[in-house]
Amino acid sequence: MRTRIHHLRTWQLTLLFGMLLGVSSGCFSPPADFQFNWVYLAVQEQQLGTPDDPAAFSDEQRRNVAEILQATFGTPQDPRLPGGLEDANPEDLVNLYGLRLAAGPVGHDKVTREPRGLYRQHCAHCHGVTGDGMGPTAGFLNPYPRDYRPGMYKFKLTKSTQKPSKADLLRTLREGIPGTAMPSFLVLPEDELSALVDYVIYLSLRGEVERELISLLSGLEEGALLLDPRQKSTDSEGYGESTALVKESIQNVFMSWSISEPAVIPAPPAWWQTLNNEQLDYSSAEAVEVHDRGLALFRGKAGCISCHGETALGDGNVSNYDKWTEQMVDAKGRTEEDRLEPYRTTFQKYGALLPRPIRPRNLRQGVYRGGRRPIDLYHRISQGINGTPMPNQEQTLTAEEIWSLVFYVRSLPFEHASRPAGVRNLDRERPN
Amino acid sequence: MMRGMHIERAGRVLPALVGALAFSLLSAAGCARTMPGAVEVDPVSVTDLEQEFVLSSGGTATVQVEVPEPDGFAMLRGRFVLTGSLAGTLAALSPDKDLQVCGANVIPNEALVIGSDSGIQNIMLYVEKGKFKIPVGDPKWEHQEYLDQKDAVLDGANGFDQESCRFLSHVFAMRATQTLAILNSDTVGHNTDLQSASGLAARSNYQVPGSGSVVYSPGYKSKAPFKVSCGAHGWMTAYIHVSDHPFFAVSGEDGSFQIKHVPSGVPLEFRIWHESANKPGTVTVNDPQAEYSRGKLTRTFSADEEVDWTIEIDASNFNHLFN
């Protein structure tokens, strides 16, 4: 009897010991805090120094950047917006009420019963508390969740590389992004959706300001602080100059959002209406004519085949990286391992996800991430896709030509992939 | 008895196994991947700094920096010269696509170009915003010659051309108010990507068809020269700088440069920029009035002065190119 109790104790002790070890090794969730952009800091250090001997910013300089960020944008629990800017009013861009609904831990306000923590409830597990696209599930997804911090967005109806409008981000939330892990949030009430849009823009602004502040460090004397409150009493003129410099950078970020404007999308030509009238019939003489026009552009002037491939299977150029990851790779490397060398030596230790080459869309699947409406496809061709190699063709293709391409691209999923039109005569038809 | 012993021994092993399993599960499962630590902040400093950024005009008054007034114009010219010897030479680039066009001429690696008399080509010298913002379009600051060109369309020989899959201007500068024609003298299409990443100058990624052209209107200045690449031909690179004011120059084949009318009587901060030596370290200037520190030359000119700088940059700044 005594031995049995003794055995039980051994068992319990082992379990207890195991639990203690498990807990102490960091398996509890860390407090919600904004992560520092270590990757961008390392990029700046390399640019300032040489690749072999990167310059190093001091701990004090990093802390200074983090302090300015907290003073201007607050914390994940208590977000705020920077004021005191000359030519920009942040409240015009981001709704403070929306921020309150989206920020903080998930729950409700005790008095008003308004929701709280919408971002952490719906977004943070993929996009991360910081909006760095490095939430706990991010590593399991392909494509990775968007990193909001560079302020670049792909799917929008504003001009080429400009910022998206709120309506663009709202559309992405409502529709989701087909072919990715981004779901539709159509079931959420309107005010919650727009609160999330405000919060995503807030995270972008904060991320962009962080990048600006880090790049300002490169212009300083070695070890100097961007904004040192102690300087206020000793050298108020110098402090004023530093404040002006920091404010100008912050202001530029806000202005880049307010100068964005919708791109012009001309109405489709007359044939578009006839051809899309009822059931689309690709065998009619007119349809064949438009299709062939689109095909010729696809192969020729518009240059689509150089990335999307001869057969539009998205296999033309598969070794490009997008703008979010290209700073972590060596584009000149011959093999993928060569290209990934900077990531392995420098950026991996900062928790950055393994960069993957960006795949041109396989146009035969009929899955379009930015939306399948003709107007979406028109915009992708005319303005390009921000942050990717997909170029802006607004000046080089006429509206009629772009609509023909849209018609052709929309016909591709219905064509035999094994016998794509005209591919057998490629050598003769290919432009030099 | 024997049987009892056996059970007892099993009873001893099994719980230990369960314990070990629980231990390994708890210690290994569910841990997040390692991330670098957060940067600790000092709450007192944060509160201090918050005073500067109070919303809705409640903030402390910003210190108005007074903009000085120039008393005329001076002429600045000079040369960038390499001193010491380079640790090697750069091999030409090897195009691997559209060889009929791209293989027509040798494509040099322009990460460092040394011309005649050890002149360093493709260095950009530009005035950076120092203690005050330089007024734009003000005749006190800008000579009439610059005012006339303020809204010019840079086309033809002044445009930004690509030929035999190489950017003809490897380093290029323009004003934010000007418009730039991006030309393509090749028969293949180029995918010209202007990667303005910082500042407000427009980013653009153009498909420029063979023998075609597009126009680029930056609208705002860039903070520093930005990279231009071609999505179709990975070896093609160039740099463009977009400036508010006209005080910039790019060194030519022999390393020479000229800024014809710099405002005098005001302190100016010149930035020396080279793609392979951002803020070169070992630099000497033959001008006691010019102060050099971390890529920046500071000087105040007097009216109608003619200044000729010889800026010597040591070869050690480029060592990293030859590993």
DSSP state of A222: T
Q: Is the pLDDT of residue A52 over 70?
A: no
Query: Which residues, numbered 201 to 230 in chain B, qualify as contacts with chain A under a Cβ-Cβ cut-off of 8 Å?
Result: 202-210, 212, 214-215, 219, 223
Helix/strand/coil for B178: coil
Q: Contact at 8 Å (CB) between B216 and B172?
A: no
CA distance A193 to A119: 10
- Identity at A67, one-letter amino acid code: E
Q: Contact at 8 Å (CB) between A169 and A197?
A: yes
- The nearest CA of chain A is from the CA of B303 a distance in Å of 27
- The nearest CA of chain B is from the CA of A334 a distance in Å of 11
Residues contacting residue B145 through CB under 8 Å, at least 6 positions apart: B260, B261
pLDDT tens digits, residue range A14-43?
777 766 665 555 555 666 899 999 999 999
Q: Is the peptide bond before A143 cis (omega within 30 degrees of 0)?
A: yes
Determine what percent of chain A is predicted with pLDDT higher than 90. Answer: 61
- DSSP state letters, A183-212: ---TTS-HHHHHHHHHHHHHHHHHHHHHHH
pLDDT tens digits, residue range A174-228?
999 999 999 999 999 999 999 999 999 999 999 999 999 998 888 787 888 999 9
Strands B237-243 and B171-175: parallel
**Confidence category of residue B67, pLDDT binned at 50, 70, 90:** confident
Q: Write down the pLDDT at residue B28.
A: 54
Q: Contact at 8 Å (CB) between B76 and B258?
A: yes
The candidate with the shortest Cα–Cα distance to B320, out of A406, A331, A46, is: A46
pTM comes to: 0.81
**CB proximity A260 to B under 8 Å:** no
Residues from chain B that touch A211, judged by Cβ atoms under 8 A, are: 198
How does B205-240 read in b/e, with b if 16+ C-beta sit within 10 Å? bbbbbbebbbebebebbbbbbbebbbbbbbbbbbbb
- The nearest CA of chain B is from the CA of A187 a distance in Å of 30
Contact A21 B198 (CB under 8 A): no
Q: Contact at 8 Å (CB) between B190 and B224?
A: no
Give the pLDDT mean for A308-329: 90
Which range, of A6-10, A188-192, A237-241, B7-11, averages the lowest pLDDT? B7-11
The candidate with the shortest Cα–Cα distance to B295, out of B279, B278, B317, B316, is: B279
Q: Contact at 8 Å (CB) between A44 and A327?
A: no
**CB proximity A125 to B under 8 Å:** no
Between the CA of residue B274 and those of A133, A302, B313, what are the distances in Å?
A: 33, 35, 11
Q: Which residues pair with B249 in a beta bridge?
A: B125
Looking at this predicted complex, what is its ipTM?
A: 0.80
The structure tokens 């917006």 sit at A81
The structure tokens 């992560």 sit at A35
Q: Which residues pair with B173 in a beta bridge?
A: B241
- The nearest CA of chain B is from the CA of A411 a distance in Å of 23
Q: Chain B: residue nearest A259 by CA?
A: B200
Q: Contact at 8 Å (CB) between B177 and A273?
A: no
pLDDT tens digits, residue range B204-225?
889 898 999 999 999 888 888 9
Residues from chain B that touch A35, judged by Cβ atoms under 8 A, are: 35, 38
Q: Is the pLDDT of residue A430 over 70?
A: no
DSSP state of A279: S
